[in-house]
Amino acid sequence: MSRIGAPLDNGSDAVMRNRQAQQQLAERLKKRMDRILQGGGPEAQAKLLKRGKFSVRERISRILDPGSDFLELSALAGWEQIPGSDTPAAGIVTGIGDVHGQPVIFVANDPTVKGGTYFPLTVKKHLRAQEIALACGLPCVYLVDSGGAYLPMQAEVFPDRDHFGRIFRNQARLSALGFAQIACVLGSCTAGGAYVPAMADESVIVRGNGTIFLAGPPLVKAATGEEVEAEELGGADLHCRRSGVADHLAETEIEALEITRRILSHCPPRQRADPRRAAAWEPPYFSGSELPALIPDDIYRSPMDPRQILARLLDGSVLDEFKRLFGPTLICGFGSIEGWPVGVIANNGVLFSECAAKAAHFIELCCQRRIPLLFVQNISGFMVGRKAEAEGIARHGARMVTAVACAAVPKITLIIGGSHGAGNYAMCGRAYDPDFLFTWPSAKISVMGGRQAADTLLQVRQDQLKGQGREALSAEAAKAFREPILESYAEESEALEASARLWDDGVILPQDSRKVLSQALRICSIQRPPSDTHFGVFRM
Ligand code: COA
């Protein structure tokens, strides 16, 4: 048994400093989440209640199995992304929880946020949920209560490939694969939005609150002069008795949610015969509650042995390392999380050529054995410089990137510190389709560190001036030149900001990570359609 990790030196200055810094990050996250959970604010919530509606998260919890943990995704999305408009959670709650014992993905409009309309990030979040459904083989439940496209931004939500229309195309494709598409219409469902229930396998609508139409009464009047009330134009009676657009009429919201739950009981579980979870497992030997004390302020700069982190995430703190003595700045090994087997790849410094070769080999092993991969990112990038280039670091890196891109096993990425340069790519960043990508509040994501970017741009500027025969920037002017770059890098790369742009599936606290990773491994292991990995051409 290869137990890793070492006890924490509780009395040390570093541990106290780390705890304090993590506490501040956690408080900032909590403050933001408290605001996000209020949706459009108390007034909008009161309006909802008056209409006999539940809040968006209450709707979801009433469909879930009692006691089921709901893994909410990207709750921070949309934060301060539209000047002048507050869009908590991007106006749409997505996440995964169990119904009748099998994981189901929910996509639920929040009508308190600008009438549940679709901003660019709302569309991105909806599509991301469908992407997860496709990868993991999940049934989808759409809780619809939306005014459709956010009209002032139609150019950014309507016509392009990954815009509004893609939602309905995805419904058709997911249904074709046998992944149930269930819509429950609890409010407005206008224009393009009308296609969500229309494209669903089965749909439910609430009398009085639910409406489905291609154009609402004001637009009908403008277009044809016809005057008609919303209920008559597209209410529950019309759609369940005459048009056939909806299948089940509910008198109340509670009833609609119950019917939705009942519909899911008819969707057979698609569980794989061999989800290879161990029947029993041990908790980590070292407690996960110690994780915040282990994260240095500048985790991306200070050397930190990731074994200390893994020792607090893996069952029994056990990691069977692969090629421990070769390419030691990348750790590869087999372990498990709450019984789910996992192949771990974790950074322990800069990526060298031999690390990339080792990773490619390890990924091949995991693919052949159908073991999910967990990437733990804290990476400044690949090694640069004359020696590295001459030994072909670009081709070695390409080999690792090929392996990551083609691996058909479930992939989960956890960014705990820096995530920069091609290191972000090779360690299964967002562009490499990890099934789930979570970040810690200490994460920083950018093409390079702010200091390196400022120095690079300053060097380019000084070279330009020299080429023009002009005087170089003085120390003071150089400082003024660097400062705004440092500021924008510091702000943009920060975990909460990255999550607001939906570069991840959520920011999680270090001490919650084991539970979240276990949920994620279960979700992408039990229903995922099996597939063989076919790698492309590996450079020698
Ligand atoms: N685009 C932009 N903003 C919209 C919008 C849309 N499609 N639909 C609603 N809003 C805004 C409203 O202007 C209002 O903004 P405010 O809070 O800054 O005043 C907010 O969303 C809430 O709308 P309100 O009408 O007060 O809420 P409601 O719960 O009574 O009704 C709707 C919500 C969605 C039923 C109603 O606003 C509506 O019918 N909207 C038009 C829908 C439509 O025709 N969409 C076509 C899209 S292709």
Under a CB-based contact definition with an 8 Å cutoff, are residues 147 and 212 in contact? no
Q: Which atom of ligand 1 is nearest to the CA of 216?
A: 44
The pLDDT tens digits of the residues spanning 319-368 come to 999 999 999 999 999 999 999 999 999 999 999 999 999 999 999 999 99
Q: Which of 114, 145, 153, 233 to mutate to test the pocket of ligand 1 (most atoms within 8 A of CB)?
A: 114
Could you write out the DSSP letters of every residue in 332-367?
A: EEEEEETTEEEEEEEESSSBPHHHHHHHHHHHHHHH
Q: What is the Å distance from ligand 1's center to 35 Cα? A: 22
Question: Which ligand 1 atom is the nearest neighbour of the CA of 192?
Answer: 48
Please choose, from the candidates 285, 302, 281, 283, the residue with its C-alpha nearest in 3D space to the C-alpha of residue 416: 302
Residue 436 in 3-state DSSP? strand
Q: Give the CA diameter of the chain.
A: 81
149/126 Cα distance (integer angstroms): 13
Banded pLDDT at 1 (limits 50, 70, 90): low
Closest-CA residue, ligand 1 atom 15, reads: 114
What separation in Å is there between the alpha carbon of 115 and the centre of ligand 1?
5
Mean pLDDT for the stretch of residues 293-320: 91
Q: Which helix (H) or strand (E) holds 69?
A: none
Give the atom of ligand 1 at the shortest distance from the alpha carbon of 44.
29
Spacing, Cα 93 to ligand 1 middle (Å)? 18
Identify the residue with better confidence: 126 or 1.
Answer: 126
SS3 373: strand
DSSP element (H, E) containing 55: none
140-184: per-residue pLDDT in tens? Answer: 999 999 999 999 999 999 999 999 999 999 999 999 999 999 999
Can you tell me which atom of ligand 1 is nearest the CA of 187? 35
pLDDT over threshold 80, residue 274: no
What pLDDT sits at residue 339?
96
pLDDT digits 0-9 by tens, 26-85: 999 999 999 999 999 999 999 999 999 999 999 999 999 999 999 999 999 999 888 877
**pLDDT bucket at 273, cuts 50 / 70 / 90:** low
Which residue's CA lies nearest to atom 18 of ligand 1?
Answer: 114
Handedness of CA 314, 320, 325, 330 (dihedral sign): negative
Closest C-alpha residue for ligand 1 atom 16: 114
Of 379, 377, 391, 328, nearest to 355 by C-alpha is 328
User: How far does residue 149's CA lie from ligand 1's centre (Å)?
Assistant: 10
For atom 41 of ligand 1, the residue with the nearest CA is: 147
Q: Tell how far CA 492 is from the center of its chain.
A: 17
Helix axes 513-526, 120-136, angle to 10 degrees: 60
| Cα 226 to ligand 1 centroid, rounded to whole Å | 21
Pure H helices in 93-164: 120-136, 154-157
| 111: region left, alpha or beta (phi > 0 left; psi from -120 to 50 alpha) | alpha
For the cut 70, the answer to whether the pLDDT of residue 239 exceeds it is: yes
Lookup result for tokens 């149930």: 180
What local confidence, expressed as pLDDT, does residue 491 receive? 85
- DSSP bridge partners of 438: 414
**∠ Cα 305 488 297 (to 5°):** 25
Mean pLDDT of 473-482: 94
Instruction: Write the DSSP string, 515-533.
Output: HHHHHHHHHHHHSPPP---
Q: How far is CA 341 from CA 108, 362, 504, 507, 525, in A?
A: 32, 14, 23, 23, 10
Give the mean model confidence (pLDDT) for residues 393-407. 96
Alpha-helical regions (H) of 441-494: 450-467, 475-493
CA of 425 to the centre of ligand 1 (A): 40
- The C-alpha atoms of residue 397 and residue 340 are separated, in whole angstroms, by 29
Closest-CA residue, ligand 1 atom 13, reads 114
**Measured distance CA(421)–CA(485) in Å, rounded:** 17
CA distances from 222 to 8, 160, 169 (A): 70, 27, 29
> DSSP states of 5-17 as a string?
-----TTSHHHHH
Question: Ligand 1 center to residue 114 CA distance, Å?
Answer: 6
For residue 191, report the distance from its CA to the centre of ligand 1, in Å: 12
With the most atoms of ligand 1 within 8 angstroms of its CB, the residue from 50, 151, 195 to mutate is 151
* Selected residue with higher pLDDT from 490 and 399: 399
Give percent of the chain above pLDDT 90: 87
pTM of the model: 0.95
- Tell the burial category of 386 from Cβ atoms under 10 Å away from its Cβ (0-12, 13-18, 19+): exposed
pLDDT tens-digit series, residues 280-302: 999 999 999 999 999 988 777 77
Strands 102-109 and 140-146, how do they pair? Answer: parallel
* Nearest one of 50, 62, 59, 125 to 91, comparing CA atoms: 125
Q: Nearest residue CA, atom 34 of ligand 1?
A: 147
pLDDT exceeds 80 at position 516: yes
Q: Would the pLDDT of 271 be above 90?
A: no
Rounded distance from Cα 79 to ligand 1 centre (Å):
20
Probe target for ligand 1 pocket from 190, 212, 231, with the most ligand atoms within 8 Å of CB: 190
Testing ligand 1's pocket by substitution, the residue of 109, 119, 188 carrying the most ligand atoms inside 8 A of its CB is 188
Contact 345, 373 (CB under 8 A): yes
Which of left, alpha, beta for 428 (phi over 0: left; psi -120 to 50: alpha)?
Answer: left
Q: What is the pLDDT of residues 410-463, one digit of tens each?
A: 999 999 999 998 999 999 999 999 999 999 999 999 888 888 889 999 999 999
How many angstroms separate the alpha carbon of residue 470 from the centre of ligand 1? 57
Kindly give the distance from the C-alpha atom of residue 147 to the centroid of ligand 1, in angstroms, as a whole number: 5
Q: Which atom of ligand 1 is nearest to the CA of 158?
A: 48
Distances in Å between the Cα of 412 and the Cα atoms of 34, 93, 232, 249 are 27, 21, 48, 40
* pLDDT single digits (tens) 85-110: 789 999 999 999 999 999 999 999 99
- 3-class DSSP assignment, residue 184: strand
Q: What is the pLDDT of residue 269?
A: 79
Q: Which residues line ligand 1 (CB under 6 A)?
A: 111, 114-115, 117, 147-152, 188, 190-192, 216, 219
- Rounded to whole angstroms, how far apart are CA atoms 394 and 357? 12
Which ligand 1 atom is the nearest neighbour of the CA of 116? 34
